[in-house]
Amino acid sequence: MKTLIIGGGIAGSALALALHKAGLASEVAEARPDVEDSGGAFLTLAPNGVNALRTLGLGDVPAAAGGFELSGIDFRNSRGRRIGELPGEADQERYGARGVVLRRARLQAALAERARAAGVPYTFDARLERLVEHTDGVRAVFAGGRVVDADIVIGADGVWSTVRRLTWPDAPTPAYTGIVDCGGWTAMPLPDTARQQMIFGRRAFFGYSAHGGLVYWFTNVPHRREPRRGELDRLDQGRWMADIRALHDGDPDPVPAILAAAESSLGAWPIYDLRSLATWHTSRICLIGDAAHATSPSSGQGASLAVEDAAVLARCLRDRASAVAAFDDFVARRRDRAEAIVRMGRRIGDRKVTSAVGSLFRDLMLPTFLRMGAKAGQEQYRYRVDRDGPSGGTS
């Protein structure tokens, strides 16, 4: 069976490696010009994501990609007072892994390089224009006239999935949340942080961690008007950073100092919400990762869910007699878990919105919310792909 994977990002490259491990052939078509052009700044692989990579024999990838371990989160209000925490010091003992912070481009490049070294063919600048599903397979037509025939097609092409749009024209489209995410890393002599630091600033939410003389930072910028596609790719960094510094003026240390040291951000990315899809697959086309269940960065689970999806789908395709049976099995195993995490990320994102009354209520209620979130987080972190049961739980 020949599998055509649309999208060479984290989900697509992880799937290519998982299929190779399962003895199944695939090829990857990526719209961008190379594996380095991934967008985004950095991400966190949760313990479950690290364990999923280990299941694929890729446990060394986070360290090889320059990642560093962090466990737990401290939350502070606009005066710098700690108003809540999610301890993570016992993560290694509980889950067999700790969370890892790493640059998105490095992780994506590492996975793609491993897949190509394993013999998986990649085609870049491959912009999908048409999909024709028929009795014997799927024909994919790309810009410029290139045609690829495959037994099945997997859409691993993100929140703005072309595969989803072509296959289900009436499916929900991503909805802008009113928030633009931006961030990067900058050299600064802050002590290494054992936990991620999250600050509910007076006007915007800010997060950072420090490791080895670099500070990895992000901010969620309120932006009422939805940016046009590509508009934020052409930022005047001097003006943009001045606006970011003004947004966080008066916030507690070290936020102003970090932004004063940062000459630019690596980019700015509107945050979108994707409502639940009626279906993830047809007889020969299936969605994975953000194409199926885009989750807010607030969940800290987007990349981890993508790797889990890849590992589970490859096993389903290996073990089931037909593609549609494999897709049914995959959805039964993954949908409830993924959509529960999407809902949680949505709730966390809603709590980042700042107002005087809302901030007072948040400061009072955050410890209660975090206690509930800690239980949900434990359920997310303890999930193991290699113990996945037929309905998506663990056995």
Q: Do 168 and 188 lie in a common domain?
A: no
In a domain, 189, yes or no: yes
> For 333-351, what is each residue's pLDDT tens digit?
999 999 988 888 777 655 5
Q: Three-state DSSP class for 11?
A: helix
Domain end residue (candidates: 215, 245, 272): 272
Tell me how far CA of residue 207 lies from CA of 51, 254, 255, 378, in angstroms.
25, 11, 9, 22
User: What span, in angstroms and rounded, lies between the C-alpha atoms of 174 and 159?
Assistant: 7
User: What span, in angstroms and rounded, lies between the C-alpha atoms of 152 and 107?
Assistant: 26
Q: Do 139 and 185 lie in a common domain?
A: no
In a domain, 55, yes or no: yes
The radius of gyration of the chain from alpha carbons, rounded to an integer in Å, stands at 21
Domain encompassing residue 246: 175-272
Question: Can you give the pTM of this predicted structure?
Answer: 0.91
Which pLDDT score is estimated for 29? 98
pLDDT at 175 over 70: yes
The top-scoring range by mean pLDDT among 13-22, 57-66, 195-204 is 13-22
Domain count, the chain: 2
Q: Do 152 and 57 lie in a common domain?
A: yes
Which pLDDT score is estimated for 358? 46
In a domain, 382, yes or no: yes
Q: Do 265 and 220 lie in a common domain?
A: yes
User: What span, in angstroms and rounded, lies between the C-alpha atoms of 337 and 314?
Assistant: 18
Q: Do 146 and 191 lie in a common domain?
A: no
**Between vectors from CA 338 to CA 271 and to CA 183, what angle results, nearest 5°?**
30
pLDDT at 206 over 80: yes
In a domain, 300, yes or no: yes
Q: Do 194 and 307 lie in a common domain?
A: no
User: What span, in angstroms and rounded, lies between the C-alpha atoms of 391 and 36?
Assistant: 36
Which pLDDT score is estimated for 197? 95
Which pLDDT score is estimated for 391? 37
The CATH number given to whatever domain includes residue 218 is: 3.30.9.30
In a domain, 76, yes or no: no
Domain end residue (candidates: 235, 254, 272): 272
In a domain, 81, yes or no: no
Name the nearest CA neighbour of 87 among 346, 390, 391, 378: 378
Name the nearest CA neighbour of 305 among 335, 338, 265: 338
The runs of H, that is alpha helices, within the chain are 10-21, 47-55, 61-64, 91-95, 104-117, 162-167, 237-247, 255-261, 290-293, 302-319, 323-350, 356-382
Domain end residue (candidates: 229, 250, 272): 272
Q: Do 305 and 164 lie in a common domain?
A: yes
pLDDT at 361 over 60: no
